[in-house]
Amino acid sequence: MQPGEMKSADEVLYVGIDLGTSSSAIAASNGEKKWVESYVGWPKDFISAKVLGKSVLFGREALKNRLSLDLYRPLEKGVLKEGTAKDAEAVKELIHYLIKLVNPSEGQKINAVVGVPAESFKVNKLAIRSAVSGFTDSIMVVSEPFAVAYGLNMLNNAIVIDIGAGTVDFCIMHGTLPADEDQKTIINAGDYIDQQLNNFLTEKYPGSTFNMNMVKGFKESNGFVGNSSAPIKVEIPVAGKPTEHDITDEVKRACESILPAIIETVTEMIAKFDPEYQAKVRDNVILSGGGSQIRGIREYIEGRLKEYGSGKVTVATDPVFSGANGALALAKDMPKGYWDQVQ
């Protein structure tokens, strides 16, 4: 290559990464898209290492073999845990694993945009940046809902509500990069639903045995707000015997437990926006993240917004990858001077 000559597109792999508390996703400019549960595990001892045949396991495979592993879920409420050095190592291993999953070519330059919760303190953004920088050439850290908005081209008079496991993140878009006051985070999200559902089931069925992994599965398969078209019945062991349980009311109560904070936050943010454009924002609300798949949540939020005169809520297509896709689109369009900034 001659001095000053531009690199070809194939010499740079652009990636968008959505680091989540429960799952993480990556989308790359070579067309590869992958996701994995945000778990990392190391064998507990030499017997575990012999049985598993691997030095480190990720995602579903790690969960499946959790009894043989020192298991880490290193992202808490969407940011790095302030825990042991092993938590930090787990994040780096997870990021390295995600990048390997999209098959970069040998020697290929990697430019990455990484999404984090909207109100992460700068130190947390820098910690994520540090974890990623060892495997990339250039990096930018942005808020997850901003990445979603960018990927959907919803850049003006719109608000994104990204419902994840650790946080619900909000971002108002008005034709420019969002400022701090345009973004909010609340911590009652998917994990909170799981904990509430666990509490409700423990209270109703004290003789039954279940764990949080089972409870999360109940929510993901059956979550709803409003009215259910049929009773929700699942099998839970009682004294070791699989027994049918009706969990309809408990699922409803748990899923609806996050709604008051969501409605309060979105209406407050819109009320503080320029009054001339408030109606336009209410009519351009986008739900994303795993929580957007809870049955009835779109209709509930839309109905509450209409109490203020109008409201239209849509759910982002491809909710698993909406953040990663947006981060990838941003990476491809990024002006050179913006790389290696924390926005």
Amino acid at 142: V
Residues 6 or more apart whose CB falls under 8 angstroms from that of 66 comprise: 41
Distance (Å, rounded) from C-alpha 59 to C-alpha 77?
18
Which tens digits make up the pLDDT trace of 219-243?
999 999 999 889 999 999 999 999 9
Exposure b/e, 165-188, CB count within 10 A at least 16 = b: bbbbbbbbbbeeebeeebbbbbbb
Which tens digits make up the pLDDT trace of 88-127?
888 889 999 999 999 999 889 999 999 887 766 555 777 7
Strands (E), 164-294: 168-174, 183-186, 233-238, 241-246, 285-288
With H, G, I as helix, E, B as strand and everything else as coil, classify residue 254.
Answer: helix
Decide if pLDDT at 343 tops 60: no
Which tens digits make up the pLDDT trace of 257-269?
999 999 999 999 9
Mean pLDDT score of the chain, rounded to an integer?
Answer: 89
pLDDT of residue 5: 41
pTM score:
0.87
Output the six-digit token pair for 101.
């999953």
With both helix axes pointing from N to C terminus, report the angle between 248-256 and 190-204 in degrees, rounded to the nearest 10: 150
Decide if pLDDT at 154 tops 60: yes
Q: List, in order of start, the domains of the chain with CATH numbers.
A: 9-148+321-338 (3.30.420.40), 156-188+258-315 (3.30.420.40), 190-256 (3.30.420.40)
Which tens digits make up the pLDDT trace of 45-69?
999 999 999 999 999 999 999 999 9
pLDDT of residue 88: 82
Strands (E), 77-195: 79-80, 109-116, 138-143, 156-163, 168-174, 183-186
